[in-house]
């Protein structure tokens, strides 16, 4: 019996039509948005470490005060939109311009460490992969209730690293499989 997925069972080559070709959003926080400006570069790699050139990254984050945007602010990047969407390039990367997110409420009376919620879609991925980006060196990471649910030896897969070549830039590698596979959440 052959169990090869049919086109209706995978995202397929049409993923980008209408999503990234015409609806890309690389600027999550415009020039007048409050907060520390950052550039966050994603790099999506397969199980062998080969770049994935046809993935799509969507992110959703709180503003610098820990508030999520409830509706489209409509200012076309002049303020804070909270949402971004980009396709990866041939080298498996894409870069968002945003701000460092604030802390949002967690379970009970806790506060979560600054983080960005991420969805990854691509050819061969049957349902979106959900993960989070935390920031290496952030002192609040140790007390984050969601990060605490992840085995300590796997938490590093959720940490963006500062780019040593560019101040204010961060790099986050998404590994879809393998030994250093990124932690994905079942949401």
Cα 64 from Cα 95, distance rounded (Å): 19
| Reported pTM | 0.86
Strand order, beta sheet including 129-135? 83-87, 56-61, 115-121, 129-135, 159-162, 169-175, 37-45, 93-99
Question: 15 is written with which tokens?
Answer: 């993923």
Report pLDDT digits (tens) over 114-153: 999 999 998 778 789 999 999 999 999 999 999 999 999 9
Q: Please name every residue paired with 160 in a beta bridge, in sequence order, or none if there are none.
A: 135
Q: Which fold has domain 7-171?
A: Protocatechuate 3,4-Dioxygenase, subunit A (2.60.130)
């Amino acid at each position: 019996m052959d169990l090869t997925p049919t086109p209706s069972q995978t995202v397929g080559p049409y993923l980008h039509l209408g999503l990234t070709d015409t609806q890309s959003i690389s600027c999550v926080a415009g020039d007048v948005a409050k907060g520390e400006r950052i550039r966050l570069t994603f790099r999506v790699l397969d199980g062998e470490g080969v770049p994935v050139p046809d993935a799509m990254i969507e992110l959703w984050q709180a503003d610098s005060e820990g508030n999520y945007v409830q509706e489209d602010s409509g200012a076309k990047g002049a303020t804070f939109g909270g949402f971004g969407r980009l396709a990866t390039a041939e080298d498996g990367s894409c870069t968002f311009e945003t701000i460092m997110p604030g802390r949002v409420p967690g379970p009970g009376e806790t506060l979560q460490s600054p983080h960005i919620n991420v969805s990854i879609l691509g050819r061969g991925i049957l349902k979106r992969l959900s993960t989070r980006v935390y920031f290496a060196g952030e002192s609040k990471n140790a007390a984050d209730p969601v990060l605490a649910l992840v085995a300590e030896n796997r938490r590093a897969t959720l940490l963006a690293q500062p780019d040593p070549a560019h101040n204010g830039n961060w790099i986050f590698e998404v590994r879809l499989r393998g030994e250093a596979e990124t932690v994905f959440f079942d949401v």
